[in-house]
Structures are given as structure tokens and as C-alpha cells.
Structure 1
Amino acid sequence: MEVRILQLGFGVLFLLVAQHAPAIAIPSSECQRQCGNVEIPYPFGIGENCSLETDFAVSCEVEDGISKPFIGDHFELLNISLAESTIRVLNFIASFCYNPSTGSMEIGGVAGLDASDSPYRFSDVHNKFTVIGCNTLAYISSSNNTGYQSGCVSTCSRMSDLTDGSCSGMGCCQTEIPKGMDYYSADFERGFNTNMSRIISRFSRCSYAVLMEAAAFNFSTAYITTTKFNDTGAGRAPMVIDWAIRNGTASCEVAKRNETGTYACLSSNSECVDSVNGPGYVCNCSHGYQGNPYLPDGCKGVIVAFFILIIFSFSGYLIFQKKKLNKVKQEYFSQHGGLLLFEKMKSERGISFTVFTEAELIHATDNYDKSRIIGKGGNGTVYKGIIKDKMHVAIKRCALIGERQKKEFGQEMLILSQINHKNIVKLVGCCLEVEVPMLVYEFIPNDTLYELIHGKNRALQISFTTLLRIAHEAAEGLNFLHSYASPPIIHGDVKTANILLDENYMAKVADFGASILAPSDEGQYVTMVQGTCGYLDPEYMQTCQLTDKSDVYSFGVILLEVLTGQVPLKLDGPETQRNLSSHFLSAMKENNLDALLASEVKGQESSEMIRGLAELAKQCLDMCGVNRPTMKEVADEIGRLRKLSFHPWVQVTDTESEGLLDGASSTTGFEIDVATTTGYPMQEGQFDFGPTKLSEWASGLVGWMFKSRWSVWVLSQLQSCLCKDF
């Protein structure tokens, strides 16, 4: 029986000199720590003074242009595990083949390994003695203190009896090995293979035996009919070897004494553990640490490393999300017309307008705190904010808008930024880097006209004259939008709640969330009617076409609120009185306007002025938009009626009043007929200086001088004196 044994003493490399071992030396940082794709951690090393001892030395060689690590007598090293204290190598496969020329069986390859007097032991946990063949009996034995010897029989009758993946004695068998083996030899029983010519004619002429890693083996029936098993790994198979710091030391107890200065667990956060396969010990990082326990400070806190990893991961995530957010913001900015806005701002000087960042508005509103809400509506929520810790503003977070509005938003912002009218809330700036744009307006402190007429500020008992003045200012603001903005702007949601009042109770038209841009075209048709019930133009609801006359209709409702003190829509009471507009038109038709007038209006204002205001409201509420006056005509008429309220003795011709209400406008808002008022021209002898006539003459003179912009107060005092004297 020919037995070839390779001394796993790995030649000279596994000769130990435990009794004269030098003190542990720290490897140089210049030592090579990788060969090919295999890491070589200390205590292993490549090069002089790079390993703990010569038994752990690794050579890095080039085969077929590829760098490969080798240990011992040319055993290729597959990997090293510090945590499990193992290495994986390629072990040689022993073969037992029939030689037709001699008619005998011959052993090939390496039939045994010797690792005695070394740090290495064959792993009983990971390896199995594996035999492949038909009618094959192979032995494995160890000559060390274990006295171990075992065998494995593999038989074949029919190919159909063989199964892929099954190694239970049919074509393949495996057997376990004991702990502590540092030597083994393998042999085949020659007398077991009888009638080889018959076997060879049906199966392969070779059988195989090897100590190998069990997890790396999966039986294939092709191993019986071909030489594939031996050829696949070039006559080698993976094997696992346990290693430890042995040095003749029996346990950690002795090693920790460190009497010879050879204690290998150098990290302060490491601990010694007795080897589970043979004498000696291994080093592990203490609980909560990981790394290399054989190096000083080699074991690092897992928690620290974990937190560092979390911090880096989180930082990377934040950077990614920030880039993603910036990209989204840029898309929103472009989508809402920001580029168009900036180009216009560059080309047109004198535009006072700021494009705010989202972060600035979040800071200004304390992250949109509920306590900062000053208004809510269908078009969004309005917050009071403080920009740069000093300027008070109103910040409106708009509700969702359609694609058409998104396309026009930049242009609309540009238009609003150029509007500078005392009766329109000034647009300070906007934020375009969000999904739905946010608008920043000047802050108006005294609430709305709605609150002044119907709500919490009603107790202030503002005079009708003041209410009329506020209505006139609002009309002037809307007239500016319709007539002087380019292109014109249609407000779309005119109501008393959108007429703000500043510190002097001056009207400021606000909330352009439902606004659109003229001129009229197909784009003016909307898919969803917006506005407020009670103010909506009936024609707009029927045609879905918003026009400047839709604003006029809504303003007519405001005039009714000023005259009657009632809300536009009541949910209780008689059905005929629920809608203020319908109730008013019925009252006008029945000549019963007094029943609707507010108490502060009845008997305190001239009937002519009240009648004129009611007629104006009636025309604004005409069901047909083309019959309604323009906002300019409305503003001019209210201005005329205000002057009539201030000076009831100023005569207004019937022709002029009717013409204005019919749509014609006058230049001054009123005219004085001197001939009628003073009696001019007079015939000689007709000059009557009686008290009555003189009083009439004085009144006419006052009117004429008022038209010439004389002081109203001086003239009224003059009239008073004249009346007293006569």
C-alpha cells in the first residue's frame, strides 16, 4: 500500500520554537495586508516581521497573471477569519484509478497531511472525510494521540439509484472526524474493487477521497461517470483549519501571566478564550467592541462605530434629500414663472419686489403657527409674519391652483408687483420654490369692511358717510385694476371681506387668489367657478366666463351691504329675504326701499343721495353684464353722490344724473346751473335783493366756488353768516 503524506508542518514553516519564542512585536504599518482579493489580517502577514510568528507567514504569488496568497507548503489561502479563528485552504484530492495498461489500481494526489507541532488543527465542525466512487472503500486515520481510524464505503448498482445532492453511500459517502486532529492519512482498499473491467464499462475508472469543507460539497451524479469532481478544482477542494496561539500553552490562565512577554491579546478591549480544538488560546474583542484583538487599540467600540456610521449615513441622506429638495424647488420656481419674473425684473427698473425663500417665510410665521392665522378662505390661509424681525407682512399660503393658473402665475406676480395704488394692498413679494406659491403682502391692521358692517367692529358705529367713502375707495381700486393694469386684472372675488382697512380706515382691495388676466379669450373660460355665495355674478355661473362686469355685480352687493347693513346671504328667515340682491331688486320694483335701509341711513341722509346710490346698485346687479356700468362709471358716480352728501345744497341736473346712471360719465362728477341757481341772466329792474333771493344767490356762489376748489369750510361759514344776517 503506497501512502503519500504531505507534512502540513507546511514544511519548515510549522516548526515551533515555543520555549525560545521572542516577545510580541508590533507589525509595521507598511506591511502588505491584501493579496489578490484576500485580506491578510494580523497575526498573519506577508513579509518579514509582518506576522506574529513564522507559522502565520503568508506568501503572495502570481499564477496566470492573478495574485494569490499561499500558506505552508503551497496551500492556496482562500480567506482568514479572526472572529472564528479559522482559515480556508485548498486541500489536495487523493485519487484511486484503474490503469488499463498494467491492469492495476494506482493512487494519485496527496493521501495525507501532517500539521503536528503547528498552530493548526483540522476543523471537526466544518470538515468531513468524503469518498466518491463505485464499489469503493477508503480509510482515514490519525497517528496522533487520538488513535482515530475510520472508513467510508460507496457502492453503485444502477445509475438510476444515484441522486444529485445525496451523499448517503450510493456513489458517495461522508464521515465526520474527531477534535484535535493535526495529522491524517487516507488509503483505499484494493481488494474491494473486483471485476474492474465491468465497473469501468459502466462508470468512471477513478474513485476519490479527501478531507474537505462539508458546506462546499454538493454531490452530482456526473462525478460517477466523469472526472469532473477532480477536474473542477484542479485536483483540490476547500478545507477549513482551526488555528490558535499555542506556543506550548495549555490555557488562557497561563497565557495571561505573560511571563515570557508573548501574550498575543494586545488590545486593551480584548479577552482571551481557550481554543475549542486543541491546546492554546485565541483572542476576541470584548463585548461591545469589534476589530482586531491582536493589535494595540485594534478593538473599537461597536456603538461608537455604529453612531459614526449612522451620522455619516444620515449626513449622506440629508445631502441627498437637500439636493433632491433643491431640484424640486427649482422645478416649482420655473413652473410658477420665476424665470420669467426675474427676466422682467432685470429688464424693467423700479420694480420693488422680493422673491423670498421658503425658510424665510417659515421663520417669519413661527412655522405657520395657528396663533399667526389672520384669515382663511377658499383660496388659502393668511398668516401675520415679521420679515427680518421688523417689517410686518401678511403671508398667504395659496390653495391648489390649476395648470393654467400655474402658467400665468409669474406674469401675474410681475403685474401685481408693478401696481402702486393707494386702494390696493401692495404685494411685497412671493415664494416660488414650493408646490403652491405663497404671496407676501403689506400688513393691514384694521380688519375688513365686513367686520365693520356685520362683525366684531360693528360696535364702533362708523358713520354712513365713512362707509360710503370706503366703498368709493374700493371702487377706485377696482377701477385701477380694470382700466390701468396692463393687461387688465379681473379680481374675481369682490366682497366686503376682501376690502381691508388700514390704520386710517382707508380701503385696500386684497386677495387676488381668484383673479385672472384679461384680455378676454378662450382662456377666460374656467372649469370651476370660484367666488363667494351671495356675491357671485349669475351670468358668470351660467357661462363660466369671468369678466370685469362680474366684479361690478359683486360690488353692487357691497353697495347693498352699505345701504342695508345686512349680509348678502341668510340661511334663515323667509325664503324671499335670504338673498339680499333678490330682496333688494324686489323692493325697488315695489317702491319699498325704505324697508331695507339701515337705521343710520333713514332720515339722516338726503333722499336724493340714497335714491342715487340705490339706482347705482340696481344697475350693477343687472342680470345682463353688458347693461352694467363699468367700475370707472361706478367710482365716478359714488364720488358724485359723496359730494352731494357733503353739500346737499349743490344742485345736480336731472339730465346729468340720468346720463351717468345710464352709463355716461361726466368730467367733474357734478355741474352747477348758475342761471337756475342765482336767477342769472336777469333783466334790468329784476334784481331782487330780498332775503330769500340773496340766500339762493349765496348758495349758488358757494357751489361755484367749491367747483373752483375754494375752501369748503370758509364758504360754508360765509353762507351761514349771510343766512343769519337776513
Structure 2
Amino acid sequence: MFLQLAPYMIVLIIVSMSPLASAQLDYPDTVNPDCNSRCGGVRIAYPFGMGDPTCYADKWFEIECRNTSRQGSKPYLKSINLEISNIDSGSSYLHIMNPVFRWNCNKSSDAKPEVNLTGSPFVYSKDRNKFTAIGCNKMAYLQSNGSKVSGCVSLCDQYDDREASINMANDGCLGRLCCETSLPSFLVEFNVTLEDMKSGGDGDGDGDRCSQALIGTRNWNRVYLGSDNEYRSILDLDEDYVPAILSWAVFNSSSFKRPSDANCTDGSLTFLATNRVPGWICECYIGFYGNPYIDHGCIASQGNFNKNNRAKKWAIVGISSGLGSIIFILGLWFLNKVVRKRMKEKLKQKFFKKNGGLLLKQRMSSGEVNVDKGILFSLRDLKKATDNFNTNRVLGKGGQGTVYKGMLVDGRIIAVKKFKVEGNIEEFINEFVILSQINNRNVVKLLGCCLETEIPLLIYEFIPNGNLFQYLHDQNKDLKVTWDMRLRIATEIAGALFYLHSVASQPIYHRDVKSTNILLDEKYRAKLADFGASRIISVEATHLTTVVQGTFGYLDPEYFHTSQFTEKSDVYSFGVVLAELLTGQKAVSFARPGESKNLASYFVQCMEENSLFDIVDKRITKEGKREHVIAVANLVKRCLELNGRRRPTMKEVTLELEEIRKLERKSSNAEQNHEEAEVVGIEDYQQPWTGYSTTSNSFPTLSSGTHSPNFETMHIVALE
């Protein structure tokens, strides 16, 4: 063990004696040594800079060093015209002097300042700042974009006067003489309004007293109002500016290039989302410190060095300067490589365990997961495929996570699902296990997964034409939703659910059937997706008892009341989707009056009131045969039965839809053959719909000569 560590120890000894070791106490501030890195007593660290535009990332980070007569040189952020007191590049914090709002203070500064960071890469840090209001009997409101986003109340009694004192360190601003509260997230612009709470009649004249409000750091009061043992009137604050802290990210549209030795994350997923502009937030890796925005700006921590021993170290290094320098460079490079490799491996192992890798291995060994169908993708390949998970690649967002579009190096287009796990990886493992066992052309295909990242990823085939909800309710003018296409989509999804319930090796309940979970491929074939809530049950089981979850409008009422999910619960949800296809209306719409907001109950009500054709899509009345539309409507009504036992199985639903579609095709072919012999006017064509009843027993039925004998047992007429 000692022999293995000996080379490392030699390198560390040489490093400790090297003159470069003492230099590691300081890290570079600028990308160019010709750039000025000082203004007064403040270090100007990149991405900030002065003078030459190459010294700073872009215009937002330009510093102007102004010479004041009394206080010497002071740095100002030119883009927002505020003084800078410190730049913490390692944490991406900018310390500024923020203006104070005043009312009735008899000062020229009573004019209200304007602070607006909109469009900039800066926001007020929620964790490092607080909003404070000073005055008697006041309600102070912090406003942003014209809305009140925070506020507090400050009260005084008749014994409080302008000489009243308060120990800020012990008492704080808890509502007497002053108050404070937290900031909202991503605050970029604000204003302050003050309202008088005086009830009248006490004659204390609170409305005429000096009142102030500000955004400052959490310890600004100690700086200006004294330490724990000093008292000073909070009402006597006479400062025009107080310290505050901004967070920043660098727009990737600027000249900034990500350093290769720092950890840079996508800032657009945090506060830059308010600007819809992508950017980067960088930090040094664990064990390193310095400026992460400069190449080789992060250096390894070596501890403190004894300055008194420098002469001895210089003497030793002078003896072996040539050989020592070479060994130092090679050793440092080798150590850095080894440390980084070990850190990455440990991080991958940590994420693998956190994301359920051990549970996944256990299910693989038990045969629950088909290993041949699962491919482990590397995070590096997925970042390259999705342009580092660029927000422009987002296909959609849901309760379980975000889906990105990507292209692999072999040219395959994929969809990458990044889960919102937050400590619970069951949904991720559940979807992976279920989809790895399914082989059906109408179920979205799982290509693999990635467990190397903090949030687990699933990789699917890419489905290009969105989902059924968009197809029905945001229709493309160039592609009409025909009756034949609706029948085909309904039949394909019914077949997929029939496969899950009865054909798969173990029954699978989807538990979230809805139009947004039905995707359409390049030929507009339907594919069932989103199996995060699905469950595999034993063949002997008849139901699944779970906490109720689902989507309002599609949720089975019986499941809602009993918490017992059966295969008939999926049938109910499919019935709502079938009603959407038939009517072209949304499952839940607040545009419909009264109890009609829910499509399921609205549809059944129209069937019972013999007004079905008032809600059927007008295109269907022009294209479909009335007996076929009635047959589908009856099927919808049976699927939406409140008693689950009276609903058909998905096998019965699939057979009925296939038979209706077959009959529809035959009738369409017959009409085409007679089209040249007879032309029917539009009014004559639509007339049979007007006097048709959907509640009587006199429904027209499908011709017995045009369907198979098995279809005679199906419910084609409406149930009474």
C-alpha cells in the first residue's frame, strides 16, 4: 500500500516546496493579463471586466471605475449604474449598493429610485437578501410587474417616538418600528408602496413621520445600526444605499466559452427562465477553488503555507529546479486526472444507487425486466443528442417530468424523459419495468435508460406528430380529422389496452388513459404512452387497491369512491377518449354550462335526451353512416356506465370497433361505386339525421347481410 502511494507522496513533497505552491493561494482574475483587475479596493474578476471588451463576457458585465472626490475610485456596473462592493465569482454573487426608498424624510433623496434588471443576467438573490420597511403604523408592499409580491406591517404605540431605540441584533425587525420579510424568486424589477394604517383619532401624526423601505443583505442592519451591544434608533437610518446581493449567469450568446475544468450548468433552468434566454452558471469542483469562469481558474486547495519557510523551500527547489518542474507538472497532471476520474466514478455510483439501480438490478435478476430490450445510454451521448438538454428541444412537460427531442450519432431520433423524482424513484422503475415487457406496435417503444445523472432518464422512440389532444382540439388546417381516421385511432388504442389487459404475460392496468397520452406517429398511427402510473397485477387478482390518482374528466367514478382500480376503470377512461373522438370536444370544458362541464356526464345526458347529434362533430355527420355513428355512441355509453360490471371489456370494445370500421369501409366502397350514377344534394344527405332518435328502440341497425355472425351479439342500439 505504501509503495503504491509513494509516487503521490513524492509529487506532493515537490509541490509543497515549489514556488508555484505559494502562487496557488492566489487565482487568476482575468482572461488576459493585460486586463486591469483592480478598482479601488475591489478585485474585478471575470466575467466582469474594464476597458477592452475582451476583458469581460458581454456588455452586461462591463465595469466602470469612477473616481469620487471623497472616497477615491469606486467600481460601478455600467449596465445598471450601481456601485459594486465585491465580486464573488466562485459563488456567482455580485455585492452591490442598493438604493433606499424614503417618504416624508425632508431629503432630496425622497424621490423614489428605479431599479430594473429586466433582460439582464442578474436577479436579486432570494436567499441572501430581505425586504425591510421602517416606520410607524405602515403597510409596506414590494411590487414587481405591477403586482404585489411581498409585504409586511410595522406598528408603533403612543410611547414610541423618534428617539425610541431598538437593539437590532437581539430584537430584529419583527413588526415594532420596522418589519422585514423574504423576497420572491427571480426578482428583476421592483417598486415599493406604503400605506398608512392609522385608524384616526389618536392624533399621533404617523402619516407625517419619515418612513423608509429597502432590499438589503440579511445582516445590513448590523453594518449600519451597530453591534449586539450598541443601541441606535432604527428610525434614524440616514443611508442612501445599503448592501444587497445579486446572482448572475452568463448568456451563452456572449463571447463567453465554458471552461473545460469547471462545472457549468444550464442557467436557463433557474432564474434565466424568466428571460427565456439560455445561459451558464459555473462553479469549481469539490476540492478546488478560484474563478470557475476562466480556463484553469479553479485550482486545488493546498492549505496554508508558512511564509517563514519560503527561503528554505526556494533553496531546495533551486537545487532540482529543472527535474522538479518536470516532475511537478507531470505529477499534478496525473493527480488531477486520477482525482477527477475517481470523483466522476463515485458520482456515477451515487446517482446509480439514488436512481434505483440496485432495485432495477434486482428486478432484472428476477425476470421482471427483459434485459435484451433495455440499453444503458451514457449521459455524455444524451447531452450531445439533446444539445445539453436545451430548452428549445423540449417536447412537453407533465407531472412526472420533461421530455426532450434528440438525435443520436447514428441518426436515430429519440425522445428523452427526465423525471422529477425528488427522492421517490418508483415511477421511473415502474415505467421501465412495464415498457420493457411490452411488444405492441400501438404502445410507444422504450429504447433504454440512463442512470448516470442526478435525475434518471428514459429513452423512447420519437413520435413526430404530437398527441391526440392537440390533433383534435388544435387542428391543422392542412390535415382534417376525418371519420375514418378517428375510427382507426380508436380501434388502435382499444387494441393496445386489450393487449395490456389480456395478452401480456401479466395483466397491466394503464391507470392514466387520456388523449394527451395517445401519441401519433408519422403515419398518424396511435401509440399509447406514459406508463408511470401503470401497474402489473397477478393473473388471479381482480382489482388493485391504491391511493386514488388520475386526471379529472377521465377518472372512473367507481374507482374514486372505492379506491379499487379494475380493468373496467381503464375502459371508462377509454370511453371518455372515444367521446372526445366522436364529439371533438374536450373532456373538461368550463365553456359548457352547468353540469355539462364534464364530457362523460354530458354525453350520457344527451343520449338519454335524444339529442346525440347536437354534440356529434359536424364533420362526422357529413362523412359517417348514421347507423355506424349510433353504434359508436352506444359503445361510448356502455363504457361510461357508473357500475363497472356493466361495462364491456377491452376485448369486446376492440371487436366492436373493428367490426364498425369494416362495415364503414364496405359502405364507403359501395357509395363510391354509385357516385357516378346518382348525385345527392347536401340537404338530402343531411336530412336523415334531423329526425333520428337515439333513445327509442327504433334505431336503424346495421344490415345483417353486411357483418359477421359474431357481431349480432354486440350492442349496436342504445341501452334503455
TM-score, normalised with respect to structure 1: 0.46
Say which one has the larger Rg: 1
Task: Please give the TM-score of this superposition, normalised by the length of structure 2.
Answer: 0.46
Q: Report 1 or 2 for greater relative contact order, CA contacts < 8 Å, sequence distance ≥ 6.
A: 2
